[in-house]
Copies of this chain bind each other. A is one copy, B any other.
Amino acid sequence: MARIVMKFGSAALASTKHIQDVAKRAIAEKERGYDVVVVTAGMRSMAKELAEMACDLSDSAPKRELDVLLSTSSQLSSALVAIALQEEGYHAVSLTGWQAGIQTDDMYFNARIDDIDVSRIAEHFAQGQIVIVAGEQGINYSQNITTLGKGGAETTAVAIAAALEAERVDIYTNVEGVYTADPSHVARAQKLKEISYDEMLELSNLGSQIIHPRAVELAKKFQIPVIIRSSVVDTVGTLLKEEVGMEKNLIVRGVAYESDVIRLTVGYDAYSDASLADMFTILAKNRINVDIIVQAIIDGLKPTVSFTILKEEFAEALRVLEDSKLSLGFSFADFEIGLAKVSIVGSGMASNPGVAARMFDRLRREGIPVKMVSTSEIKVSVVVPQDEMICAANALHDEFNLEQALYV
C-alpha cells in the first residue's frame, strides 16, 4: 500500500478544534488508500511553560534534562491526535521518538537523526492503524531522550518518509505554499506551483520560515517529493521536487529576506589559513550557524574576517570567541547589529552572469547601501540596513518581474 507522511506544526495543533481538523485530514488520506504517518510538532503553549519552569530553577539547566522536558510537548500532541482519530472510529496509535525507532546522535537540544528503524511503524500499518509520531525527538546511543532543535518535526517527517519509501510528505503550514516573496511585505508576490530542492534550500536558508533547510536537504538526498500546503484552507500547495518544469526559464524565482542579522568582524595581526579554519571549526562545534563569510586581506591593513550570525546566537558566539581568543590568535573583534539579509534565488541564474550586477544596480538606484555580498550558483544575497529590508525586497521583486511568475 502506498504510504504518505503528514506533518503538522504547533499552530495546527493549538486547540481541540485544530487537533480534530488534523485528524480529519489524516482520515481523508487514509480513505484515499494510503498508509498514513502523522508527525506532530510540540504544543507551543506547553513548550513555553516548560522552558519557564526550567529557567526558574536554573540559568544553565543541563540540556539532557531540558530535552526530557521538551520532548513531552510533542508526546502530548501525538497522543491527542491519536485520541481524536479513535473518536472518529479509526485505529490509531501514538509513538514517541524512541518508539518510532528514531536514532539520533548525542547532541542534546539539537540532535541529528542517524537512522530510523521503521519496523514498528510497519507493524502498526499491518494492523490498519494510522501512526502518529511525536516529532522533534529521538533517542541517542545511551538510551537518553534527545530533541532535534529547529525544524525537528519537518526533518522527522522527511526522514520517516525516506525510511518508509513513502510517496510524499505533506507539510501543513500557516501559508498556502511557497511564494516569490512574503506576500505580507511584497504585495505582488505570487504562489509557485513547483520549486526545486536547491531553490527551496536557498529560500529556507534565507529566512523564509516555511520549511527548515534540514528537512529540504534530507528530502533532496532521498528524492522525497514534499508538498508545502495550508492547514487552514484547502488549496493546492507548492511541490518541492528535483526537476522543475514549466517555470524553468524564470531567471529569478523568489526574493527572500531575514531580519536581525548581526555582523561579527575579527581582526588578526598576521593571518594564516589555519586560524580561519580553527575559528569556524570552534563555532560549528558549538552549533553556531555562521552564514555569510567575507574575508578581506588588503595590503597595508590588518587582515579581517567578517561573518553574519542570527541574533539568538549572538551571546553564545561572543562567549565562544572570548573563551578561544588565545588559541584562535585574533587581535580584535567587532560587531554591527541592525542588519538584514535580502536574497534573490533561481536556478536559471547560473547561466545568467549579469543577474548580480542588475541586483546591485537596482539597489544603488534605490539608495540602499550593500554591506556584504554572498553568491552561490543559484542565489545572490546582500546584507543591508534592517530599515531598508522591505524596500529592497519590493524593488528586487519588481526588478526581476516576479509578479509574472504566474501560478499555473
Chain A residues within CB distance 8 Å of chain B: 16, 19-20, 50, 53-54, 56-58, 60-62, 64-66, 68-69, 71-72, 75-76, 78-80, 82-84, 86-87, 93-94, 96, 99, 120, 143-145
Contact A20–B57 (Cβ < 8 Å): yes
In angstroms, how far is the closest chain B Cβ from the Cβ of A64?
Answer: 7
Cross-chain pairs A/B with CB under 8 angstroms, 27 sampled: A16-B53, A19-B57, A53-B76, A57-B80, A57-B84, A58-B83, A58-B86, A58-B87, A61-B83, A61-B86, A62-B82, A62-B83, A65-B83, A65-B86, A66-B83, A68-B75, A68-B82, A68-B96, A69-B75, A69-B76, A69-B79, A71-B75, A72-B72, A72-B75, A96-B145, A99-B143, A99-B144
Which of chain B's residues has its CB closest to A75's CB?
B72
When all copies of this chain in the complex are counted, the total is 2
Ordered nearest first, which 6 A-B pairs have the shortest CB separation?
A72-B72, A68-B79, A58-B87, A16-B56, A61-B83, A65-B79
Contact residues in B for A76 (Cβ distance below 8 Å) = 50, 53, 69, 72
Contacts A19-B57, A57-B19 known; A80 to B69 CB distance under 8 Å? yes
Contact residues in B for A80 (Cβ distance below 8 Å) = 53-54, 57, 65, 69
Alpha-carbon separation in the docked complex, A84 to B120 (Å): 36
In angstroms, how far is the closest chain B Cβ from the Cβ of A11?
Answer: 17
Contact residues in B for A50 (Cβ distance below 8 Å) = 76
Contact B57–A16 (Cβ < 8 Å): yes
Which of chain B's residues has its CB closest to A78's CB?
B68
Contact residues in B for A86 (Cβ distance below 8 Å) = 58, 61-62, 65
Q: Is the interface of A mostly helix, strand, loop or mixed?
A: helix
Of B19, B68, B78, the residue contacting A94 (CB under 8 A) is: B68
Alpha-carbon separation in the docked complex, A87 to B66 (Å): 13
Which of chain B's residues has its CB closest to A134's CB?
B68
Alpha-carbon separation in the docked complex, A120 to B144 (Å): 11
In angstroms, how far is the closest chain B Cβ from the Cβ of A210?
Answer: 28
Contact residues in B for A120 (Cβ distance below 8 Å) = 143
Alpha-carbon separation in the docked complex, A54 to B20 (Å): 12
Extra contacts besides A20-B57, A61-B83, A69-B76 (14): CB < 8 Å: A16-B56, A54-B83, A57-B83, A57-B87, A58-B83, A60-B87, A65-B80, A65-B86, A68-B79, A68-B82, A69-B80, A72-B72, A96-B145, A120-B143
Contact residues in B for A20 (Cβ distance below 8 Å) = 57
Contact residues in B for A79 (Cβ distance below 8 Å) = 54, 65-66, 68-69
In angstroms, how far is the closest chain B Cβ from the Cβ of A90?
Answer: 11
Which of chain B's residues has its CB closest to A99's CB?
B143
Contact residues in B for A143 (Cβ distance below 8 Å) = 99, 120
Find the residue from A56, A72, A79, A94 having the highest chain B CB count within 10 A.
A79
In angstroms, how far is the closest chain B Cβ from the Cβ of A74?
Answer: 10
In angstroms, how far is the closest chain B Cβ from the Cβ of A24?
Answer: 13
Contact residues in B for A58 (Cβ distance below 8 Å) = 83-84, 86-87
Alpha-carbon separation in the docked complex, A94 to B64 (Å): 9
Alpha-carbon separation in the docked complex, A137 to B79 (Å): 16
